[in-house]
Structure 1
Amino acid sequence: MAKANVSRISIVALAVSASLLCFSANAVASEKERINELEQRLDMLEVELIEAKDAASQVDRVKFSKSSPSPELISKDGRSTLEFKARIQTDYVSADELYTGSKREYEDSFNEASIRRIRFGLEGYFSNVWEYELEFDFDGVAEVEVKDANIAYKGWDNSQLTLGFQKYAFGLEATGSSAHLAFLERAATDTFAPDRALGAQWRYVGNNYNVTLGYGVNAGFDDDDLNFKQDIVNARFTTALIDSGEHLLHLGASALFVYNNEAVEETRYRARPNTKASGRTIDTGKFDAESLQHYGAEIAYQYSNVLLQAEYATALADQADDSEPEVTVDAYYLQAIYTLTGEAWKYKGKSGKFKTVKPDNAISAGGYGAWELAVRVDQANFDDVEAGIYGGKKTDYVLGVNWYLENNLKAQFNYVHTTADYKKPYEDINGDMMYDQDANIFQARLQFAF
């Protein structure tokens, strides 16, 4: 609007100037009077032009978007910004009784309402080429945890370097944000993704691919001895072999290498049945490992409002006792998403990940939002008998319904049927020795995120 005003003022100025210069010689006013009048008019137009520019500058300093209630603050020169972000997830879970391999005990059925995540932070740019991020997680009880605290240099044409405390890229679902999950929880392949760490991560973006390489340190910073640590090295490659707008074929591969200090050789792999509220139904138990190697493969195909996705991940753990064999465990999932109302998930080729749909007809606009169906088969096998590991094997069948009321407001409903098989028996609540189990879980979530 301000730019249009400036254009109109400029046209008026030209018109006035032309009309004054074209006055006939028969005009009553003298030449001197005409010049004085012209100068006064030009002075007035100059003042109006300056005021219009100032008004335009003021409007651009604070910006709102349709998808966020948080304003974006922009510096006067436009080279620095600040924007607040938040994520609130409240859950309700109803689950049958389960044998939890992590606690080696039977867990009664339960109904539970809880806060899954409360996150608050800020992000933006400074000096035009630096991006920063700071985010805290509140567990709903008392503890506050730093999730991200990093800066990224983006001054190069095709790459960026991120420094600080950050998430390390591994896999498709684990790399993305929890705000953009098709189901309430990530699949068991997330077990092999690294925790956040302090270090550096570099990403190169090509025409239809990207490569990420990183190095980080997991350390006990609350302890005096900073040698208490793990060194991690990660790599992820993704490519969009087909990206025609209607069809998309995504492929990716990841690798993670973890080198343990002697003080942190204790290693463990365990997984829940696609819900955070229950205990872990399969668990290798604790064992000492000098180093870990994790590998993952991912594929996704999207056709309009249908998204198919699959991942496989495996871990090889070199035990500290050289006489003991290497421990090998793995997991995979297959899932399909169909958006009933026709919207499509957004693909970000620069980072090789997906973002959830935005409703074409939001509730606030008098519509009915976007509706989605999702199905998943998720399996993890944490048994390695040759290495003396009896963690169990679980398979989860998940049916989900997602309702996107607004761009930043989503309701989710999941039904989970979980099964587990064990090489060693456990005693159930009736005193019977069991080698397997199955249970049903119903859960729902309301998420507000921006």
Structure 2
Amino acid sequence: MRIQILILASALAATGAHAADWRDFSLKTSAGALGEFSATANWAYDHNGFGHLGQGVDAAAFDDDSAWRRREVGVAFKRKDVYELTVQRDLEAETWMDVSVKLISKGLFGRDLGALRVGQFKTPVGFDAVGASRNTPFLESALPAQATYAGRRLGVEWSLQRPAYLASVAWFNGNDLEGGNAGSTLAGRAAWVPRNAKGDVLHLGLTASRERPDSESLRLRARPEVGLTGVRLVDTGTLAGVDTVQRTGLEGLWIRGPWSVQGELLQVHADRAAGLQDVSGNGGYVFGSWVVTGESRGYNGYAGNVVPSATSALELLVRYSRLDLDDGAVRGGRQSDWTLGANWYLGRNFKVQANYVFAHARRGGTLRDPEAFGLRAQVQF
């Protein structure tokens, strides 16, 4: 019932904001020469169901559930090519998201030397995890993206984007706004984009980071690509004595009309002190997408949602992902998933997603191969 109320309220807001076209609404107002003020939101309500639990799984551990997955709200104040102020919070997770100021050299100095961002934002390793949550093609990030993603931190970043390439370097120091992720991290991202037009994209990128965690600990794990469960089929447990953590990724995206292919190879390596064994985890994923109604996936450094050319658009997807967290005496397990997906876009603001996940995990001597169904209703502006 709550999701119907949310959608109805959003539709009414849309009518007041842009009555001319309910399929594309936003809440914006002009501040004259100072720029533009806008309110943003991304609310997603999920249902997860589990079946064919197979061997080695406690059935009670996988409870069917329906709940809010995200209730993100935010405000932004920007002046084109000069500055952007962003404040976002997830009311469901009770955490701050991006809280930052971006200064754009083109508007400030008359020459495009890139942009400087200060505040809290995502660390860049993980093409699948670092893009905006409203644009996720599947309900959850792929297994290796979950395990390697370092979250948001307080820091400073310089970035430069050109039609044929992009680059960024960031330094994070301290912690996040919740008091977690304490330590320092140096990170960078670079990509070559030899084809960059609407419906015709080729993106090849490299990301890397080096972290010194104050906690001197690390835990690598992943959910089975649905979000309303606390079960992790692969999990290293807490690794103590960690001096540094290196994360690296190779990312690729190809879009050609209604077809697209995206993939990553990701690795995380923990250097440990006091004679403790160093630990590595690695994995990858690849997925294909076909927009049945003929539109293309969006792109602006990261892949975006499909924008219907008429009232709605339908996208079909299939993904394979794998994650290996076994390394010497650390037996975190190995898992591979196949996921079938369908996305229905109603204008720019509404999206319905359905996923069916076939998981296969082995940890120690135990095999677990549950299947999971996920359904999401999402409204965003």
Range of TM-score over shorter length? 0.7 to 0.9
| Residue 70 to residue 302, structure 1, CA distance change in 2 (3 Å) | closer
1:117 aligns with 2:70: yes
8 Å contact kept, 1:345–1:355 = yes
1:292 equivalent in alignment to 2:245: yes
- Residue by residue over 1:145-186, the C-alpha shift from the partner in whole angstroms, topping out at 9 and shown as x without a partner, is 211211000133140000011122223222211111111001
> Equivalent residue for 1:240?
193
The Cα shift of 1:286 comes to: 1.0
Q: Quick one: higher RCO (CA 8 Å, sep 6+), 1 or 2?
A: 2
Identity %: 25
Q: Which runs of 4+ in 1 moved over 6 A?
A: 220-223
1:163 aligns with 2:118: yes
* Contact 1:85 1:121 (C-alpha < 8 Å) held by counterparts: yes
* Amino acid across the alignment from 2:32: K
Task: Please tell me whether the aligned partners of residues 99 and 281 of structure 1 are also in contact (alpha carbons under 8 angstroms).
Answer: no
Q: Would you say 1:271 and 2:222 are equivalent positions?
A: yes
Aligned to 2:306: 357
Cα–Cα, structure 1 residues 210 and 379, in superposed 2: closer, same or farther, change >3 Å?
Answer: same
The TM-score, its normalising length taken from structure 1, stands at 0.74
CA drift of 1:361 comes to: 1.7
Kept in 1, the 8 Å contact 2:96–2:178? The answer is no
Pair 1:127–1:406, CA change in 2 (3 A): closer
Question: Could you report, residue by residue, the CA deviation over 1:49-82 in whole angstroms, capped at 9, with x for unpaired residues?
Answer: xxxxxxxxxxxxx9859565333211233x3210
Using a 3 Å threshold, how does the CA distance of structure 1 residues 80 and 243 change in structure 2: closer, same or farther?
closer
The residue that corresponds to 1:373 in the other structure is: 316
1:408 to 349, 353, 362: 349
CA RMSD in angstroms comes to 2.5
Amino acid at match of 2:203: H
- Contact 2:198-2:298 within 8 A present in 1 as well: no
- Maintained 8 Å contact 2:199/2:258: no
Pair 69,244 (structure 1): closer, same or farther in 2 beyond 3 Å: closer
Cα distance between partner residues in 1 of 2:43 and 2:234: 29
Give the secondary-structure state (helix, strand or coil) at the position aligned to 2:309. Answer: coil
The structure number with the bigger radius of gyration is: 1
Q: Which structure's residues are more often helix, by fraction?
A: 1
Counterpart secondary structure, 2:129: coil
TM-score, structure 2 as length reference: 0.87
Q: Is 1:172 aligned to 2:127, yes or no?
A: yes
Change (3 A) 1:298 1:220: closer
Q: How does 1:24-423 map to 2 (within 5 A)?
A: 69-77=25-33, 79-96=34-51, 107-125=60-78, 129-139=82-92, 144-156=94-106, 157-190=112-145, 191-219=147-175, 229-243=182-196, 245-261=198-214, 264-278=215-229, 279-288=231-240, 289-321=242-274, 323-348=275-300, 352-362=301-311, 369-385=312-328, 388-422=329-363
Please say if residues 160 and 203 of structure 1, whose CA atoms lie closer than 8 Å, have aligned partners that are also in contact.
yes
| Larger strand fraction of residues | 2
Offset at residue 300 of structure 1 (A): 1.3
What residue ranges of structure 2 are gaps of 5+ in the alignment?
Answer: 1-15, 107-111
5+ residue gaps in structure 1?
Answer: 1-61, 363-368, 426-434
